[in-house]
């Protein structure tokens, strides 16, 4: 029995029978969509893949042996609709394609709570709304499953018209392989806000900024960029692998005493209370909905800032060096 965690659902707590006879339409075949379609099909579920265009996702699905079809076609007779198009696209597909064919008793399923929590999608009361949110990038959702495991998933219920929404969320999570690890329960509010906080402050935003700042600090002192790339960026994976398997103190025990002492004393000097104050400010912005408003406005105006930030990153010295160094590093990776 866990001392800290709430209920953790595993294999025997979830039954595929709750979704086995249902027609499932998965919309989108990107990072998560590909993993979900392939895992759910391999788990023996009735899945149709619906896409808007015959573009890259369509081709990729065909290469994977999946038969894509137009969104309208996949939605015909669907009992469960899974939204795996980008968060900013979901409201359009919902209002133009899903809403017109929505029938009482159907299920709307999400991998992230954004559209429901921030009310971009407001479903009628007579449908179930639930989530199965993988706590991992899409490619890992597939890779873990193929190797006989699964990544942890959070399930949450926003509307329980059928009285079975939680069982169905757990069944979908099981189909993804997640009950091999563990499934925890959450709410749309908690998942949406904490997911955004994690990816902005740390996983995606904070991490990228910290790696780049360390790289430039070293380069600006006259050291060669390739040395800076190895020290500031490349080795991060191996350090986070240690954290993933053994926790923060386990990682510290795997490095030298010199690294331990230097790391523990300097880390908190760099990431100090000032930084934490700014983190709190941005976390509050997520909680208040202001980040969502800003992101929706940016998207509606063509995501120009996002494109220019990605361009700057692609053209940066660290990415130029990284592209060449990764060829060397990846050559030495253990064979899968
Ligand atoms: N990427 C992740 O690892 C990850 C992790 C957890 C949760 N999620 C959530 O999963 C959902 C899907 O995100 P993703 O990152 O897998 O998406 P993605 O951007 O990788 O894939 C999007 C899919 O939608 C299609 N698409 C893109 N723009 C479109 C448009 N304008 N109209 C119609 N179709 C369009 C693409 O062709 C592709 O098939 C989101 O709710 C996201 O928050 C993602
Ligand atoms: C993989 C992440 C960052 O955890 C996910 O939340 C996303 O939005 O892609
Ligand atoms: Mg996210
Ligand atoms: Mg996340």
Same domain for 325 and 239: yes
Ligand 2 atom closest to the CA of 87, numbered from 1: 8
Residue 272 lies in a domain: yes
pLDDT in tens, 181-229: 999 999 999 999 999 999 999 999 999 999 999 999 999 999 999 999 9
Beta strand residue intervals within the chain, DSSP E:
8-9, 23-27, 46-51, 68-70, 80-83, 107-110, 128-134, 153-159, 183-186
Domain end, chosen from 167, 186, 205, is at 186
- Ligand 1 atom 19 nearest Cα: 86
Q: Is the ipTM of this complex over 0.90?
A: yes
- Looking at the structure, tell me whether residues 260 and 285 fall in a common domain: yes
Compute how many other C-beta atoms are within 10 angstroms of the C-beta atom of residue 171. Answer: 25
Residue 177 sits in the same domain as residue 211: no
Enumerate long-range contacts of 143-150, CB under 8 Å, 24 or more apart. 144/177, 144/181, 145/35, 145/38, 145/39, 145/42, 145/176, 145/177, 148/180, 149/177, 149/180, 149/181, 150/176, 150/177, 150/178, 150/179, 150/180, 150/181
Of the residues 186, 221, 246, the one at which a domain ends = 186
- Nearest atom, ligand 2, residue 199 CA: 3
Shortest-distance Cα residue to atom 9 of ligand 2? 137
The catalytically annotated residue of 97, 112, 117, 168 is 112
Average pLDDT, integer, range 238-248: 97
pLDDT over threshold 90, residue 333: no
Last residue of a domain, one of 186, 220, 252: 186
CA atoms lying within 13 Å on the CB side of residue 202 = 9
The answer to whether residue 117 sits within a structural domain is yes
Domain containing 311 equals: 196-331
Atom 6 in ligand 1: residue holding the nearest Cα = 134
Q: Are residues 169 and 91 located together in one domain of the fold?
A: yes
* Shared domain check, 326 and 235: yes
Q: Which of 32, 69, 87, 291 to mutate to test the pocket of ligand 1 (most atoms within 8 A of CB)?
A: 32
Confidence check: pLDDT of 2 > 70? no
* Atom in ligand 1 nearest the alpha carbon of residue 32: 16
Q: What is the pLDDT of residues 254-311, one digit of tens each?
A: 999 999 999 999 999 999 999 999 999 999 999 999 999 999 999 999 999 999 999 9
Q: Which tokens sit at 139?
A: 């490619």
Number of folded domains that form the chain: 2
Q: Is the CB of 32 under 6 A from ligand 1?
A: yes
Residue 211 resides in a domain? yes
216 is catalytic: no
Is there a domain that residue 63 lies in? yes
Answer whether residue 167 is part of any domain.
yes
Position 3 scores a pLDDT of 78
Please, which pLDDT band fits residue 103 given cuts at 50, 70 and 90? very high
Note whether 172 and 42 are same-domain residues.
yes
In this structure, the answer to whether residues 145 and 41 fall within a common structural domain is yes
Residue 57 shares a structural domain with residue 161? yes
Q: Which of 80, 75, 106 is nearest to 16 (CA)?
A: 80
Question: Would 1 be classed as within a structural domain?
Answer: no
The string of pLDDT tens digits covering residues 6-17 is 899 999 999 999
Cβ(138) to ligand 1 under 6 A?
yes
For position 320, what pLDDT does the model report?
97
Residues 115 and 165 in one domain: yes
Token representation of residue 175 = 């189909």
Residue at 336 is within a domain: no
In a domain, residue 86? The reply is: yes
Q: What is the CATH number of the domain that holds 25?
A: 3.40.50.720
Judgement on whether residues 27 and 60 belong to the same structural domain of the protein: yes
Cite the annotated binding site for NADP(+) by residue number: 29-32, 57, 138
Same domain, 252 and 303: yes
Judgement on whether residues 108 and 218 belong to the same structural domain of the protein: no
């Amino acid at each position: 029995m866990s001392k800290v965690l709430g209920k953790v659902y595993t294999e025997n707590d979830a039954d595929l029978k709750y979704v086995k006879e249902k027609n499932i339409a998965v919309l989108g075949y990107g990072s998560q969509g590909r993993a979900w379609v392939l895992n759910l099909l391999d788990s023996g579920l009735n899945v149709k893949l619906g896409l808007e265009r015959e573009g890259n996702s369509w081709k990729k699905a065909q290469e994977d042996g999946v038969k894509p079809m137009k969104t309208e076609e996949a939605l015909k007779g669907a009992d469960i609709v899974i939204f795996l198009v980008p968060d900013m696209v979901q409201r359009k597909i919902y209002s133009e394609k899903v809403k017109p064919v929505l029938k009482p008793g159907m299920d709307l399923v999400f991998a992230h709570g954004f559209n429901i929590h921030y009310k971009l999608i407001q479903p009628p009361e007579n449908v179930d709304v639930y989530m199965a949110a993988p706590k991992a990038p899409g490619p890992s959702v597939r890779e873990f499953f193929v190797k006989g495991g699964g990544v942890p998933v959070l399930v949450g219920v926003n509307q329980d018209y059928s009285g079975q929404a939680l069982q169905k969320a757990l069944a979908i999570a099981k189909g993804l392989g997640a009950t091999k690890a563990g499934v925890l329960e959450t709410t749309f509010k908690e998942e949406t806000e904490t997911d955004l906080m994690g990816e902005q402050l740390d996983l995606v935003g904070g991490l990228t900024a910290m790696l780049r700042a360390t790289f430039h600090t070293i380069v600006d002192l006259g050291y060669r960029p390739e040395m800076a790339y190895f020290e500031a960026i490349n080795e991060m994976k191996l350090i986070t692998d240690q954290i993933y398997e053994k926790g923060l103190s386990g990682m510290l025990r795997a490095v030298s005493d010199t690294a331990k002492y230097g790391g523990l004393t300097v880390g908190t000097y760099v990431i100090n209370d000032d930084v934490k104050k700014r983190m709190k400010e941005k976390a509050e912005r997520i909680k208040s909905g202001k980040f969502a408003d800003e992101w929706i406005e940016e998207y509606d105006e063509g995501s120009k800032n996002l494109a220019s930030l990605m361009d700057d990153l692609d053209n940066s010295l660290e990415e130029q060096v990284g592209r060449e160094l990764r060829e060397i590093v990846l050559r030495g990776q253990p064979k899968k």
